[in-house]
Structure 1
Amino acid sequence: MVEAVLIDLFGLPVNLQNSIQDLLCNMLGTTEERSSVSAPLVYVMCCQTQWSERNDEQESLLAALRDFQSLKKRLEVVCALTTAAALYTIKERLDEKDLSVIKIVIPAFRRHLMKVYIDHLFTAVYQFEFEDLQMASDCNNLLIAEPQTEGQTYPTQEVELVTSEIQMHLESLPSLKGELTILRSSLIPDDIFLHGFTTRTGGISYIPTLSSCNLFSSSKRRDPQAVVKENLRRLASTAGFNPETFHRVKIDHGNAVYIMGKTEPDSYDGIVTNQKGVTIAAPGADCIPVLFADPVRKACGAAHSGWKGTLLGVSMATVNAMVSEYNCNVKDILVVLGPSVGPCCYKLPHESAKEFHRIDPKCVRLFDSASPYIDLRRATRVLLETSGILPENIQDDSVTDQNQNITFCTACHPDKFYSHFRDGTNFGTQIGFISIKD
């Protein structure tokens, strides 16, 4: 069922601009008749420059739109200099109302271009259907045709222009929720390594549970890759790394480790490198982003450690990769546990809790309950120390530093961090990142 209708007037020919009011009357009337919703939201998207020298016509159009609204037509005109700016504004309106099914009424010659914009600015959460707007020189002869299937390919240059237009618009947007903030550990020497853990501030993601520096895009969430890429660009600019040489783990909640320079697995939760200038990262939104640094061999690693990965030993697997590939001594490796859900908030079913109880009974609180509280960080520390990492080389602020400058509980601090446990399925993601300085 269509929840909203988008009428694209960006491609309106010059010879029809004088009759824009009649054009809208025809389109809106036909759209209303064909819609399965009694009063769908209607967005009219048009180019600001088309009206720049036509103030009288603009006033006439707005008067007509007011008439439509008085007839309970829920309609909004969005004027912008670019298609990207107009479409992104409409996406904000759709997201405010949690709408996902959109019909686009568009001139046939604009359809394939609109699909490029949609590919970049939307995710699989949204469903689109198209109707071709066929325009004659006489507006009274205007028709809306049924969709036609077409195997349209996009010229590379055209796609690049669209991508550039989207990027320029996103770069122009103000940061939300304050300045971009990076948490850094004093354990990792900053003369050798560049590193940090992000918080949720300083990006452009506007959906409440994703706002504002979300750094992960998913087909199940509403933040598109283009927005995440812009958030990453802003992080890279603030932190001082090159976003073009940035590598994030491909989460599988397992213990596979990617050794940079070798064949990349389809999925992995750990990554290691000794290449200078390459930034590696692990996400976390309750799961622990873990950073590893060996200042002697000048090698580093990052791991994503959720409850499954913790039990499978992903952190130690990352250490073992550094030892085997770069000849690191386990006693030289420094480990920092990033922001993650604490034992104050995190519960698992009793069967899963048994596995953590075997690692260390102190990892589980209220063990006899149906859903005991779990300490993922303690389990990670115990496994690392058992395998040879020195206790003093592990930073976990919840134990070693009550000031908690890094290892905050993500669920307890909604102003600072994202949390899947707290926010549900449409959650945002922060990261821990590290690189070897040139």
Structure 2
Amino acid sequence: MVEAVLIDLFSLPASLQSNIQGELCKKLETVEKCSSIPAPFVYVMCCQQQGCERNDEQEFLLPALRDFQSLKKRLEVVHALTTAAALYTIKQSLDEKDLSTIKVILPALRKDLMKVYIDHLFTPVYKFEFEDLQVAADCKNLQIAEPQSEEQTLSTQAMALIQSEIQMYLESLPSLKGELTILRSPLIPDDIFLHGFTTRTGGISYIPTLSSCNLFSSSKRRDPQIVVKENLRRLAKAAGFNPETFHRVKTDHANAVCVLGKTEPESYDGIVTNQKGVTIAAPGADCIPVLFADPVRKACGAAHSGWKGTLLGVSMATVNAMVSEYGCNVKDILVVLGPSVGPCCYKLPQESAEEFHRIDPKCVRLFDSASPYIDIRRATRILLESGGILPENIQDDSVTDQKQNITFCTACHPDKFYSHFRDGTNFGTQIGFISIKD
């Protein structure tokens, strides 16, 4: 059932708007009858001329819309200089109301164009259906980039222009929730490596559980890839790395490791490199982003270690890849455990807890309960030390007396970090990243 209606009048000249009043009113009446709610939210998307004051909403509204009494306060007119700006503004309102089924009513020649904007600015969480708005036959040049028939598709150049327009708009947006903050470890020498762990501030993601520097997009969340790309651009600028040579693990909650420069696996939770100027990263939103650095052989790695990956030994698999590929000595490798859910908050079913108990009984709290508390950090440290990593070369400052500066509990600090455990399915993601300086 339709929850919202988007009427695209962005490229329709004012002189032609009177021609569509009757048809528009009929379409809205039909939508209302078929809707699962008393009246769907209606958004009218209009072009604001450069240098002009925003038109008064009531003056602008077509009589067909003004007279459509059932809309009441469910009607919003959005004026903007670009389609990207108008559509992103509407997306914010849809997200605020938690709406995801949208009917788009628009001139036929705008349909392919609109689909490209929607593909960039929305994820599969949203469902769109399109309905043509009949416009006078003599209406030409609605948008230069539009195809002239249903068989034609937008040119590569036209699609690139749309992406550029969206990127420029997103770059113009202010950062949310404060300045971008990067946590750095004193264990990793900064004359050889550039590294850090991100927090949730300083990006443009606005949905509460994703706000604001979310660095991962998926088909199940509302933050599109192009917004994540802008957040990454801002991070790269602040940290000093090139976002075009950035590689993030393709998580599978397992123990496969990608050696950068060799054939890339379909999925992997560890990544290693000895190439300079290339940034590698691992995500975390409760799972541990683990960074590895060998200042002797000048090699580095990153791993995503959730409870499954921890049990499968993803951290030692990453260490072993550095040893076999780059000749690293295990005793030279430095390891930093990033922000992750702590044993204060994290629970697993009894059968999974038993596997951690076998690593060390101290990895499990309240073992006899149905859902014991689990310490995935302790398990990771024990497995690393068993593999030959020196205890003094592992930073997990949640267990030391020094002031905590890296290994915070993500679930305990909603102001600083994202947490799947705390926030549910539409959660944000932070990362740990590292590269070898030129």
* Alignment TM-score > 0.5, same fold: yes
Query: What is aligned with 2:357?
Result: 357
Post-superposition Cα deviations, 1:374-432, rounded to whole Å, max 9, x if no partner, equal: 00000000000011000000000111244110000000000000000000000000000
Report the CA distance between 1:39 and its aligned residue. Answer: 1.1
Between stretches 58-67 and 227-236, larger displacement belongs to 58-67
CA offset at residue 74 of structure 1? 1.8
| Partner in structure 2 of residue 333 of structure 1 | 333
Aligned equivalent of 2:422: 422
Q: Which runs of 5+ in 1 are unaligned?
A: 140-148
- Which residue is 1:61 aligned to? 60
1:21, 1:60 within 8 Å by CA — same for their partners in 2? no
Aligned CA distance change for structure 1 residues 55 and 203 (closer, same or farther; 3 Å)? closer
Equivalent positions of 1:29-428 (< 5 A) are 29-35=26-32, 36-37=34-35, 38-49=38-49, 52=52, 60-62=59-61, 64=63, 67-68=67-68, 72=72, 74-136=74-136, 153-428=153-428
Q: 2:20 is matched with which residue? A: 23
Gap change, CA 1:356 and 1:370, over 3 Å in 2: same
Describe the shift of the 1:33–1:319 C-alpha distance in structure 2 as closer, same or farther (beyond 3 A).
same
Give, in angstroms, the shift of residue 26 of structure 1: 3.9
C-alpha distance after superposition, 1:292-336 (max 9, x if no partner): 000000000000000000000000000000000000000000000
Distance 1:51 1:241 in 2: 37
Secondary structure at 2:98 match in 1? coil
Cα shift readout 1:113-149 (whole Å, capped 9, x = no counterpart): 101001100000000000111212699xxxxxxxxx9
Q: Which amino acid aligns with 1:28?
A: C
Give the drift of 1:10. Answer: 1.5
Q: CA 1:198/1:55 → structure 2, altered by over 3 Å: closer, same or farther?
A: closer
Q: Which residue of 1 aligns with 2:142?
A: none
- 1:34 and 1:381 mapped to 2: Cα distance? 58
Q: CA deviation at 1:348?
A: 0.4
CA drift at 1:287:
0.1
| 1:20/1:61 contact within 8 Å kept | no
Which residue of structure 1 aligns with residue 5 of structure 2?
5
In the alignment, the residues of structure 1 paired with residue 50 and residue 282 of structure 2 have an alpha-carbon distance, to the nearest angstrom, of 46
Pair 152,354 (structure 1): closer, same or farther in 2 beyond 3 Å: farther
Q: Aligned partner of 1:367: which letter?
A: F
Kindly provide the CA deviation profile for residues 137-185 of structure 1, in whole angstroms up to 9, marking residues without a partner as x: 699xxxxxxxxx9565331100100000000000000100000000000
Alpha-carbon distance in structure 2 between the residues aligned to 1:380 and 1:24 = 65
Deviations 1:219-239 (A, max 9, x none): 000000000000000000000
> Structure 2: how far apart are the matches of 1:32 and 1:355?
60
Distance 1:415 1:3 in 2: 32
Contact 2:302 2:433 in 1 (8 A): yes
Change in 2 beyond 3 A, CA 1:55/1:315 = closer
SS of the residue corresponding to residue 49 of structure 1 reads coil
Counterpart-to-counterpart distance in 1, 2:55 and 2:28: 27
**2: distance between equivalents of 1:108 and 1:272?**
50
Q: Secondary structure at the match of 2:346?
A: coil
Question: More deviation in 380-389 or 66-75?
Answer: 66-75
Q: What TM-score results when the alignment is normalised by the length of structure 1?
A: 0.93
- TM-superposed CA distance for 1:31, in Å, is 1.9
Q: Percent identity?
A: 82
> Hey, what's the Cα distance between the residues in 2 that align with 1:134 and 1:409?
56
Shift of 1:33: 2.5
Map of 2:143 onto structure 1: none
Number of matched residues?
A: 425
TM-score (norm 2): 0.93
Change (3 A) 1:53 1:210: closer
Equivalent AA in structure 2 for residue 60 of structure 1: E
Query: What code does the residue aligned with 2:302 have?
Result: A
Measure, in 2, the Cα distance between the counterparts of 1:33 and 1:251: 45
CA separation in 2, counterparts of 1:297 and 1:435?
A: 13
Bigger Cα displacement from structure 2, 419-428 vs 36-45 = 36-45
